[in-house]
Structure 1
Amino acid sequence: DGKRMTRNCISMLAANPTLTDLPVHVVMSGKQNGEVDKHLAWASSTLAKSGFEVETAYLPGDPEQQITQAIADREIDMLVMGAYSRSPLKSLFLGSKTNDLLRASKVPTVTVHL
């Protein structure tokens, strides 16, 4: 989504040379905001410069449904995501995509809150 948490998550992965043998699928979902291509290109470039094999995709629609479907379709073994960009109080009233994905994910999930 291009938010600070997500960018920090991508940067953290890119800085870890022990993970470069793993394929990475960078998936964005939700409303198209005109910046999706820029965010996906940045993530792909950042990871590729560190030696990762990267596949990117924008999947319009509900993030919970689209990302869990992408995990199943692509046989992804683990979900890593930036998490909790809202305060707990805002999340209580507005909801949390992080919590939605944690509940829906059928694979081990790592959340990064930097």
Structure 2
Amino acid sequence: MSNLKPDSVIACLDCPDHVQAVLKASMWAATRLQVPIGLLHSVPSLQQKAAVNYSGCLNIDDENTLLEQFTNKEHLSNCELKAQGKLLLHQATTYCEQQRQKLKTYTLHRHENLSESIDYVDDKAQLIVIGHHVTCKSTLSRLIRVSLCPILVTHAPFSPPTTALFAFDNSPTCHKMLNWLCKTPLIRALTVHIVMVGKENSENCDALREAYARLKQAGIKSKKALLDCRDVTAALNYYQTENDIGLLMSGAFGQSRLRELLQGSDTEKLLVSTQTPYLLFPKA
């Protein structure tokens, strides 16, 4: 019987360099959403038994010696892989409890790869949090592309944001994300900069103005900007840096596959270039 709780924040612990950042980001999100945190660890593929270095990923000393013993082995048996995962989940639970936040946590130890694990949770979760560097063979962009749930990608360390940049392109996915942002408590306390990159014509100005008005009507402190620039990624990165914005938000892979093939994916470029947490909303 599954212990997956609907509407949870799911913390993916499959990024050794980002475990603490993922937990901090998950606690930040769960506090605002007032939901439990599901601590998810996937046992690596049986064909990929190389030891993964989780030693030192959390500041808990009691069991680090055992984690180091796992790390020092070039390969782990199936039983050792499972034991390593259970130990990591126990440490993550203890870490969350030590933060003294009144958040409920539970564990999900999946005996499958991360892609299959995300497929298992994403139609029931409210948010998935994942580190920027994953250990599975699938790339981060492939995991995000097929997800049905909003995903927060974080670098290490994680700093709770006070401002956010919403990259608005007037697409169906962006309008769906706009509806979600107007309702979710996740960004309620943040100042949201809604930014559109495109020609300064009446169509874009009207679309941006209407989206900005929606955020204001929802009680969200907002600012708007229209950037006339060819390079979407460069324009957004520059604006975010200049305004010291702590969270990037956009639809995920909203372009057609043909345009991605010809021009490259803006989502892919932003995933590579941004140094802040990045909240992606599934394609409509």
Q: TM-score range by the shorter chain?
A: 0.7 to 0.9
- Counterpart selection for 2:204 from 33, 36, 41: 36
Aligned to 1:106: 275
Amino acid of the structure 1 residue aligned with 2:188: T
Percent of matched pairs sharing the same residue: 28
Change (3 A) 1:98 1:33: farther
- Counterpart selection for 1:5 from 156, 169, 173: 173
- Counterpart selection for 2:189 from 18, 21, 24: 21
Give the whole-Å Cα distance in 2 for the aligned partners of 1:87 and 1:73.
Answer: 30
Larger radius of gyration: 2
Aligned to 1:54: 222
Any runs of at least 4 consecutive aligned residues in structure 1 with deviations exceeding 4 A, and if so which?
A: 87-90
Give the whole-Å Cα distance in 2 for the aligned partners of 1:83 and 1:56.
Answer: 21
Unmatched segments (≥5 aa) in structure 2: 1-168
Give the whole-Å Cα distance in 1 for the aligned partners of 2:253 and 2:194.
Answer: 18
Give the whole-Å Cα distance in 2 for the aligned partners of 1:99 and 1:33.
Answer: 27
Give the whole-Å Cα distance in 2 for the aligned partners of 1:78 and 1:43.
Answer: 19
1:20/1:50 contact within 8 Å kept: no
Change (3 A) 1:87 1:2: closer
Aligned to 1:76: 245
Change (3 A) 1:111 1:22: same
2:198/2:204 contact within 8 Å kept: no
Give the whole-Å Cα distance in 2 for the aligned partners of 1:100 and 1:57.
Answer: 21
Higher relative contact order (CA 8 A, sep 6+): 1
Amino acid of the structure 1 residue aligned with 2:253: Y
TM-superposition CA deviations, 1:42-78 (whole Å, max 9, x none):
2111111110011000111111111001110111000
Amino acid of the structure 2 residue aligned with 1:28: M
Q: Secondary structure at the match of 1:110?
A: strand
Change (3 A) 1:87 1:34: same
2:248/2:276 contact within 8 Å kept: yes
Q: Report how many residues are paired.
A: 114
Q: Structure 1 residue 34: deviation in Å?
A: 3.7
1:17/1:50 contact within 8 Å kept: no
Give the whole-Å Cα distance in 1 for the aligned partners of 2:276 and 2:187.
Answer: 18
Change (3 A) 1:57 1:90: closer
- Counterpart selection for 1:63 from 232, 254, 257: 232
Give the whole-Å Cα distance in 2 for the aligned partners of 1:17 and 1:91.
Answer: 33
TM, length-normalised to structure 1: 0.87
Amino acid of the structure 2 residue aligned with 1:111: L
TM, length-normalised to structure 2: 0.38
